[in-house]
Structures are given as C-alpha cells and as structure tokens.
Amino acid sequence: MSDPKMKFLVVDDFSTMRRIVRNLLKELGYTNVDEAEDGVVAMQKLSSGGIDFVVTDWNMPNMTGIELLRAIRANAQMSHLPVLMITAEAKKENIVEAAQAGASGYIVKPFTAATLSEKLAKIFEKMDKKSA
C-alpha cells in the first residue's frame, strides 16, 4: 500500500508548516504532495480526485481539520481516504474527538521523520488488513 507515488494532500494554513510536512514526507520518499491552506480548499482538491492520503492540521480558519475529517467521512467518494491529523495539542478530548470522527492517525507537533514514518506505517498496515 505504501506506494511512493501515492499523492498526499497536506492541509495547513501556515505555509511554513506545509513545507515542514512536505519535507518530512520527501525524506520518507513521498514526493507527490499537493497543498491546501484550509479545509475548504482541501475539499475542492479532494473532490477533483487523485489524492490518496490526507495529512491535515487541526486548527485552521474557514474549515478546521476536524470539520474536514467529518466532511471526508461523510462523502461516499472520499470516505475511504486515510486521514492523519496533526495538532500541537495532546489534549485527550481532542484525541477522542478525532478518533470518533474517524481519523486514521494522530500526530503531535513537533515530530520527526521517524515518527511520521511510524504513524504512516501503522495506517498502511491497517489499510492493508482491511483490504485483504
């Protein structure tokens, strides 16, 4: 499942953060990365298709990460997409909220490429199991 050509969508309103995530993904060999600055833009990009994996920040204007996650899960065409939530908070209620909304993973800022790799591996593992 972890095809290096798979297309990631990195959603964050802070462009420096998008760049950080993009660099980390690149370090892990994923070079096909698109960006969106909030949930609304992300939904537009997602509905035009071609995205295999969503990595989203939580706290954004217009449409937050959790709203985006819910919108993805509620959309038949996208509901299968893995969504990794990024947040600066390790607050329990956030984590629970993300899990209930159907997040595939949750990662706390700041993180290293190694941590990201672990998280991705776990998500891929789960997806492989599901599809198997």
Partner 1 sequence: MSDFAGMEDLLQDFLIEAGDLLSGVDNKLVDLERTPHDLPLLNEIFRGFHTIKGGAGFLNATELVTLCHLTENLFDKLRTGELQVTPEMLDSILGATAAVRSMFGDLERGMQPASADAALLNNIKQALAGKLTGRAAPAAAPAAAPAKPAAAAASVPSGNEANGPDWDAYYHAVTGVTPTGKAVATPVSGNVPAPQVLDVPEQEEEQHLSEDSAQKIITAAVGRRATDKPGYQGPPGGRREGERQRDNSIRVDTSRLDQVLNLSGEIGLTKNRLTALRSDILNGKNDTDTMHALDLAVSQLDLLVSDLQNAVMKTRMQPIGRLFQKYPRIARDLARSLGKDVEMVLEGEETEIDKTMIEDLSDPIIHLIRNAVDHGVELPNERMMMGKPEKSIVKLEARQEGDHIVIVVSDDGHGMNPERLRAKALEKGLISDEEANTMDERQSFNLIFLPGFSTASSVSDVSGRGVGMDVVRTNIQKLNGSIDIRSEQGKGTSFIISLPLTLAILPVLLVCLGEQPFAVPLSMVREILPIEPKEVQELGGRATMVVRGEVLPIVTLASLLGWPQETVPEYGVLMQSAEQSFILAIDSFAGREDAVIKSLDDFRPKGVAGVTTLSNGQIVLILDMKELLSSMGEQRVATRAQLLLENRVASAA
Binding site for partner 1 (CB under 8 A): 13-17, 19-20, 23, 27, 57, 59-61, 88-93, 95-97, 99-100, 102-103, 105-113, 115, 118-119, 122
Secondary structure (H, E, C), the chain: CCCCCCCEEEECCCHHHHHHHHHHHHHCCCCCEEEECCHHHHHHHHHCCCCCEEEEECCCCCCCHHHHHHHHHHCCCCCCCCEEEEECCCCHHHHHHHHHHCCCEEEECCCCHHHHHHHHHHHHHHHHHHHC
CB of 43 to partner 1, least distance (A): 19
Between 34 and 97, name the residue whose CB sits nearer to partner 1: 97
- Report the nearest approach of partner 1 to the CB of residue 90 (Å): 5
